[in-house]
Structure 1
Amino acid sequence: MSASQHPIQLQGVNLETIAQEFGSPVYVYDGDKIVSQIKSLQSAFATVPLKIKYATKALSNINILKLVKKAGEGVDAVSIEEIMICMKAGFTAGEIMYTPSGVNFREVEEAVALGVIVNLDSIPLMEEFGAMYGNTVAACIRINPHIMAGGNAKISVGHIQSKFGISIQQLPEIIEVVKNFDIKIKGLHIHTGSDILDAEIFLRGGNVLFEAAMNFPDLAFLDFGGGFKVAYKSGDPATDIAEVGAKVSAAFNEFCEKYGRKLELWLEPGKFLVSESGYLIVEANVVKKTPQITFVGVDSGLNHLIRPMMYDAFHDVYNLSNPEGDQKPYNVVGYICETDTLAKDRMLASVTKGDFLVFKNAGAYGFSMSSNYNSRLRPAEVLVWEGKAQLIREREIFEDLIRHQVILDI
């Protein structure tokens, strides 16, 4: 048996055993991995006052958020509902950054009422915020640094045509709005994208922040966003966190000397914290041979894991039930009435109906982007923590699909 074929265990718990106990499809998360990822960032940025704000959108189960809270870090939320979930998990308002994009101002008012930090990402929002609150509520400004970065166009968000943030070319206008409404600015923020390998990208973004920051004398923090790349298959490059931490921290400390006092450095990792912790276990419904391809149809699809279809994302797949079988080529496909190829041209240990397969690196943007498309049910979620597999979300049932439908007498 090759190393890659050994039964996958999390803290001594076999994944196939989890599937047998909780059924499939099921998302499984390794709590230890999430904590170790947090610790690696804390270590890499040990020379600066670091605050991690976990990107809740990556995986918002309350129990995952509680692990982040337990590690002493905060969260970034992009909706009022995420704010409320974070508070349910135990975060205080001061530990939550709220970064909306194009929301109704009523949602911003709700966020302010809850006491969280609001990240302003447009001139109109700044003006409305300033007119409402003046200098009575401190805020952050999201700047678009015009840096093209990220592994896929859909996750590159800091370039000149992106909807996110306020163009750095509009800095004079930003300053004018702040002055006109006397807005209290406590932080500046950028986020260039995801899957960023090169420390130089973070440094380029940092230089944009450093230059802009000199126009705001009362800052408490600079937020570098996230976007660290994780490896999705053997041989894949990943961000050298130690190198990024060393270079960015050195530049940040040098800036703070120039600024005249020490600020906090904020990061907003999402995928980096939870991606490698997650596994999606599915069952083979059918093995279908054609003259050219052998398909494995499974009890899941783009309704549970949309990343392969949306981002052309690669997820390693293994046969949990027959890890020592002869290697054969397969296309693993879903049960959705769309072309939902989850894995194409993969060599897997021989698959038969009823085998459990597992998709790795499924912790980030897996369950959180799931849906009820085709009126399918969303899967259960299980957390392995302190050597024990525990259910953290029940599998949906049919009644969940129609719970909020108003059925007329037609």
Structure 2
Amino acid sequence: MDYRKLKQEFKTPFYLYHFDEIKENFLKLKQVFKARKSQIFYAMKANSNLSLLQMLAKLDSGFDCVSMGEIQRALKVGVKPYKIILSGVAKTREELEFALKSDILYVNLESEAEMLLLEDVAKFLNLKARISIRVNPNVDAKTHPYISTGLHENKFGVELDLARKMYLYAKNSHFLEPVGVHFHIGSQLMDFSPIHEAAQLVAQLVKELKALKIELKFFDVGGGLGVSYENEKEPHLYDYAQGILAALNGLDVTIGLEPGRFLVAKSGELVCSVLYEKITAKKRFVIVDAAMNDLMRPSLYNAYHEIILPYNQGEKSLCDVVGGICESGDFLAKQRELEQTKSGDILVVKNAGAYGFSMSSNYNTRMRPCELALENGKIRLIRQRESFKDLIALEENFLN
């Protein structure tokens, strides 16, 4: 990759996504479930760039959305409503109305109160709402507590007993139609045994519901497939699929999959430039033109991202890679061994395709970077760099 040429044309910082790698990941996941009916619903929160969504839609991807805005993004690139599901714990009446009017595949319910609100919305619109219920199976995902979602202490989903009551209520409602069940126990999972355990528990619920004449069509296992950020051993997709297929033995359901990070994380890079080095009595700082507003994960989770200096050679020493945000928590890496740098050197933050740009902000009135796609050997701009005019567009008309 000729980063120097890209820097000359687009300036830094910028995100670069390898679309061909994302396609390959999508097709690999689809392949391991070829023995059963299945549908991939890309978890849009990982990276919601319109060009990326359009590319995945052409591969027949569905989309897992967690806001009205994400539904609108999917519809904008031509996704059919029956390929869209709506998840999330805090859906508003406006969002539920929009989802029903758009005739999306189904709404993933997270609570009894949400079910009653959706029923009221459906009654108001004189429509029938297709629903799935997110079950919290109380299985430890063995991941970072911030991205663990399947324990009773987490805010997501409902316990099995309450789920049964909700399904029975929905079955008897004129405005609700139960069509699916859903669980998602956490993200960045490197051990699949918790997913397989959860699948067994939820499959048993589906069998019990079937005995009550509640026939579900979709069995959504969520996402959570982990990727290697720091030399972790990535488990095999075949093993992942086989455990889920075994749990569903005897059930005629379509398997729903919600990959996000798995598809895009390792296919994205944040490319930035060194501004200067700062040496103190105890520390070496490499100060770059990207910051926590561009990539939040290190500051938020203390997440590790490999960093390379593609054109630098020589001895390495420990340093912190930091940006210009006025926060001590603004860093891309700490205690990292890197070659010596000078102003203008290019630095590449690897594995930044998921939860990079999608979590970025304008904190300190910094403009978010541009985004590029590499596809079929060609680079193209898929989001232009923000300008100061973009930032103040919603404010300037209110000045006295």
Normalised by the size of structure 2, how large is the TM-score?
Answer: 0.94
Q: Which residue, 50, 53, 63 being the options, matches 1:75? A: 63
- Counterpart among 7, 13, 20 of residue 25 in structure 1: 13
Q: Give the partner amino acid of 1:248.
A: I
Q: In 2, Cα distance between the equivalents of 1:172 and 1:98?
A: 21
CA distance in 2, matches of 1:291, 1:87: 55
CA–CA distance in structure 1, aligned partners of residues 398 and 59 of structure 2: 49
Does the aligned pair in 1 maintain the 2:171–2:177 contact within 8 Å?
Answer: no
Change in 2 beyond 3 A, CA 1:150/1:394:
farther
Which aligned pairs between 1:367-378 and structure 2 lie closer than 5 A?
367-378=357-368
Aligned AA (1:295): F
Most deviating of 37-46 and 298-307: 37-46
* Residues 35-54 of structure 1, C-alpha deviations (whole Å, 9 max, x = no match): 11111111222221121100
* 1:236 aligns to 2:232 (yes or no): yes
The structural deviation recorded for 1:408 is: 4.5
Aligned to 1:119: 108
Give me the identity figure in percent. 35
The count of corresponding residues between Structure 1 and Structure 2 is 390
> 1:336 corresponds to which residue?
325
| Alpha-carbon contact 2:3-2:346 (below 8 Å) kept | no
Counterpart for residue 218 of structure 2: 221
Matched, 1:206 2:199: yes
Q: CA deviation at 1:78?
A: 0.4
**Range with greater deviation from structure 2 (28-37 or 101-110):** 101-110
Distance 1:223 1:381 in 2: 31
- In structure 2, do the counterparts of structure 1 residues 218 and 176 end up closer, same or farther at CA, with 3 Å as the change threshold? closer
| Equivalent position of 1:187 in the other structure | 180
Amino acid at match of 2:241: G
Equivalent runs, 1:14-163 vs 2, <5 Å: 14-116=2-104, 117-133=106-122, 136-163=128-155
- Deviation digits for residues 318-352 of structure 1 (CA, Å, limit 9, x no counterpart): 11232x33322221001100021211111112211
Greater shift, 196-205 or 169-178, is seen at 169-178
**CA distances 1:50-98 after superposition (whole Å, capped 9, x unpaired):** 2110000100001111121122211100001100101111211001111
Q: Secondary structure, in 3 states, of the residue corresponding to 1:158?
A: coil
> Cα RMSD (Å) of the superposition?
1.6
Q: CA deviation at 1:172?
A: 3.7
How far apart are residue 406 of structure 1 and its match? 4.5
Q: CA–CA distance in 1 between the matches of 2:379 and 2:314?
A: 27
**AA partner of residue 213 (structure 1):** V
Instruction: Name the stretch that deviates more: 165-174 or 187-196.
Output: 165-174
- 1:207-240 deviations in whole A, cap 9, x for unaligned? 122122121532111000010110002x312232
Give the residue type in structure 2 aligned to 1:166.
Answer: V
Report SS of the residue matched to 2:305: coil
The alignment's TM-score, normalised by the length of structure 1, stands at 0.91
Gaps of 5+ in 1: 1-8, 257-261
Structure 2 partner of 1:5: none
- C-alpha distance in 1 between matches for 2:20 and 2:218: 29
Q: Distance in 2 between matches of 1:139 and 1:213?
A: 14
Q: Deviations over 1:140-175 (max 9, x none)?
A: 111111122152111001110111112223134213
CA contact (8 A) 2:203 2:247 kept: no
Letter in 1 for 2:11: G
Cα distance in 1 for partners of 2:64, 2:107 equals 10
